[in-house]
Amino acid sequence: MNLPGAFEEKMKELLGEEFDEYIACYEEPRYYGLRVNTQKISVEEFQKICPFEIHPIPWISNGFYYDGDKVSPSRHPYYFAGLYYLQEPSAMTPADRLPIELGDRVLDVCAAPGGKATELGAKLAGHGMLAANDISNSRAKGLLKNIEVFGIGNVLVLSEEPGKLMDYFPEYFDKILIDAPCSGEGMFRKDKKMVRAWEEHGPEFFSNIQKSIVLQAAHMLREGGMMLYSTCTFDSRENEQIIEHLLEHCPEFRILPIKPYEGFCPGRPGLTKSGMKDIEKTVRIFPHKMKGEGHYLALLQKGEKKEVAEETGKPKKKTRKLPEELETFFAHVSWKLDPSRLDIHGERIYYMPENLPAVKGIRFLRTGLLLGELKKNRFEPSQALAMALKKEDYDFCIDLKAEDERVTRYLKGETLDVEDLAGSKEKGWYLVCVDGYPLGFGKLAGGVLKNKYLPGWRLC
């Protein structure tokens, strides 16, 4: 592989005797990974039903390697059911090593397309709130889709400058992930286009952006909260020196150790301006040391952890009744909806995360879970609701086996004959599942299922 000369020289200096081993790994194939969505399925159950060969990624409890030259997991119906996310193995590390507790308020500052946000949301398992932001509106659209496919409803999907978010969320979040925009040196083997991008915008360009983002994020972190900073690059100006910059400006932060793995290498004190010893607690991932691409991560805590009194947030809106059409539909759903969390905009009805501060004025792609639309005298459930439900949550399901050719036809948007499964079932909205995992809705009448799978998500 043709690497820029200046990059090779820099890596020689960084790696010394290890350089030959490092450069040799560019001749080896890249690794393909998938990460199980533990909000929908346990790792053990997934291993039982996974139709292709997988091998555990040793440092990620829900991560697996697959052979990307032989199988295409993105074509399998389980992918459409949100059972897994396809992700380069090292890239699974940041969200894995940021400790999340149920009920946390979590911010992913640079979240698109959602590789890490989907894991953070799955770890919250419906409790607390995930704010997933990306400055790029077009990339944030992909982020929203991935979050919805994963069935994450306690969410805000935003597209804002972190500097603006600071005004709305001062000292608000318990956990923050900054997967910073970077020069991407660690991804040269996975994606050759990254080399060209590096030649256009190198480490110096990104380090200025990263310096702003870490300080803005620090401001949004609660006392005692934790922040994980990561990049997929090797340059110390984007790694150790960014953490040094943060600690210079925010001395209340300290570096925490990261749950170890034998292939992790320590950050380099010699690459900080002040020779900061503690930087050894940060982690460098090199492709010649582990079966994954290059990464850097640092875990930090702001001040000391305090017991936070249960907040009630802004006063609850006066308890109102559920709209009748929604109530009729939800009589068949096992969830207990809190009417004070409903937000109705025109026909659309959303279920908001708990205790949200005022967020008017921020660019949103989604606030909460889109439940569906209130039409004249009826409620039409959304695709996002289908993905957030479990089969056992809803009274009316049509469960197809993965091998049934109707699964593919459903995903293509076709009308299905389900007489054999529906028999004399009453007409109405049905949750269409594959092996018990929801894919979307359909409307049944006389043994025929009208397809309600979201047109923009259909299989081509």
Ligand X SMILES: C[S@@+](CC[C@H](N)C(=O)[O-])C[C@H]1O[C@@H](n2cnc3c(N)ncnc32)[C@H](O)[C@@H]1O
63 interacts with ligand X by CB under 6 A: no
81 interacts with ligand X by CB under 6 A: no
* Nearest-approach distance from CB 114 to ligand X, in angstroms: 5
**For this structure, is 250 an active site residue?**
no
Residue 111 assigned as binding residue? yes
The DSSP secondary structure of 303-338, one letter per residue, reads S---PPPPP--SPPPPP-PPPHHHHHHHTTB-----
* Closer residue to ligand X in complex, CB, 208/274: 208
Alpha carbon separation from 248 to 46, 215, 239, 301, 304 (Å, rounded): 45, 10, 15, 14, 18
* Nearest-approach distance from CB 34 to ligand X, in angstroms: 14
112 interacts with ligand X by CB under 6 A: yes
**Between the CA atoms of 168, 172, 175 and 177, what dihedral angle is there, to the nearest 10 degrees?**
20
Among 88, 134, 174, 293, binds ligand X (CB under 6 A): 134
Among 50, 60, 83, 109, binds ligand X (CB under 6 A): 109
Among 12, 127, 139, 409, binds ligand X (CB under 6 A): 139
Q: Are 177 and 115 in contact (CB under 8 A)?
A: no
213 interacts with ligand X by CB under 6 A: yes
Residue 287 assigned as binding residue? no
110 interacts with ligand X by CB under 6 A: yes
Q: 3-state class of 228 per DSSP?
A: strand
Q: Are 369 and 167 in contact (CB under 8 A)?
A: no
Q: Are 270 and 319 in contact (CB under 8 A)?
A: no
154: nearest Cα among 132, 134, 170, 138: 132
Q: Per CB under 6 A, which region of 111-119, 217-225, 279-287, 421-429 contacts ligand X? A: 111-119
374 interacts with ligand X by CB under 6 A: no
Relative orientation angle of helices 137-149 and 117-124, to the nearest 10 degrees: 40
Q: 3-state class of 384 per DSSP?
A: helix
Size of site (CB under 6 A) for ligand X: 18
Q: CA 84, CA 111: separation in Å to the nearest integer? A: 17
Among 63, 181, 372, 438, binds ligand X (CB under 6 A): 181
Ramachandran category for residue 428: left, alpha or beta (phi over 0 → left; psi -120 to 50 → alpha):
left
* Closer residue to ligand X in complex, CB, 112/370: 112
Residue 96 assigned as binding residue? no
Residue 179 assigned as binding residue? yes
* Closer residue to ligand X in complex, CB, 111/449: 111
Contact positions toward ligand X, by CB under 6 A? Answer: 109-116, 134-136, 139, 161-162, 179, 181, 209, 213
Catalytic residues, by residue number, are 232
